[in-house]
C-alpha cells in the first residue's frame, strides 16, 4: 500500500528534472513503481501519483456523464492537466515545461507526502497556503474530523 508522508525541500536541475526522495521512492509499488502521473493541482501545485493510485482517481472522473455540461468541464480540465513520466535509473523524473510554469516552479521546490500522492510546491506559495495559527488548524480539524 502506498503511503507518502513528510516534507522534503529539493531542487530542480537545469532540465526541469526532480529527484524522488528516497523515503518516497521506497513507498512506490514494486510492480510499475517507475511509472508516475503528474497532475496540475487545484491551487498552483503539482500532484504526483504512482500509476496504480492515479487509476483510482481516473475511474471516478471517467464515470461522470459526458452529456452533462458541468461534467464535461470537469473532465476537460482534469484530463488536460495530466502527464505520464517515468523515474530514470537515478530516481529522477522530468516535469513538463507547461507544468513547471503552471506551478511557478523554478529551482527550489517543496515536496509533501499526502497519503496516496506527493504534492510539489514553489516554496513561497507553499508557505502562503499553510495555516499560521495552530488554533485555526485545530478548529478545522475538529470541524471536519470530529463527527
pLDDT digit string, tens, across residues 78-135: 999 999 999 999 999 999 999 999 999 999 999 999 999 999 999 999 999 999 999 9
Q: Which domain holds residue 112?
A: 4-145
* pLDDT for 60: 96
Could you write out the DSSP letters of every residue in 61-125? HHTS-TTSHHHHHHHHHHHHTEEEEE--TTSEEEPPHHHHHHTT-SSEEEEEEEETEEEEE-HHH
Instruction: Look at the chain and report how many structural domains it folds into.
Output: 1
Residue 2: the pLDDT is 86
CATH number for 9? 3.40.1550.20
Distance CA 119, CA 4 (A): 10
Please give the residue that has the higher pLDDT: either 24 or 147: 24
Predicted pLDDT at 4 = 97
Separation CA 35–CA 140 (nearest Å): 35
pLDDT in the model for residue 30: 81
Provide mean pLDDT across the span 1-7.
Answer: 91
In whole angstroms, what is the distance from residue 145 CA to residue 139 CA?
Answer: 10
Report residue 29's pLDDT band, with 50, 70 and 90 as the boundaries: confident
* pTM: predicted TM-score of the whole model, two decimal places: 0.93
Amino acid at each position: 500500500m502506498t503511503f507518502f508522508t513528510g516534507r522534503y525541500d529539493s531542487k530542480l536541475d537545469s532540465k526541469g528534472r526532480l529527484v524522488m526522495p528516497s523515503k518516497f521512492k521506497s513507498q512506490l509499488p514494486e510492480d510499475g513503481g517507475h511509472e508516475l502521473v503528474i497532475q496540475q493541482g487545484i491551487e498552483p501545485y503539482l500532484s504526483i501519483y504512482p500509476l496504480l493510485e492515479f487509476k483510482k482517481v481516473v475511474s471516478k472522473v471517467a464515470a461522470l456523464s459526458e452529456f452533462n455540461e458541468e461534467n464535461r468541464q470537469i473532465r476537460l480540465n482534469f484530463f488536460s492537466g495530466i502527464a505520464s513520466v517515468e523515474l530514470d535509473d537515478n530516481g529522477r523524473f522530468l516535469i513538463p515545461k507547461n507544468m513547471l510554469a503552471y506551478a511557478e516552479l523554478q529551482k527550489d521546490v517543496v515536496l509533501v507526502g499526502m497519503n496516496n500522492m506527493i504534492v510539489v510546491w514553489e516554496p513561497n506559495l507553499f508557505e502562503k497556503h499553510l495555516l499560521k495559527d495552530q488554533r485555526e488548524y485545530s478548529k478545522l480539524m475538529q470541524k471536519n474530523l470530529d463527527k
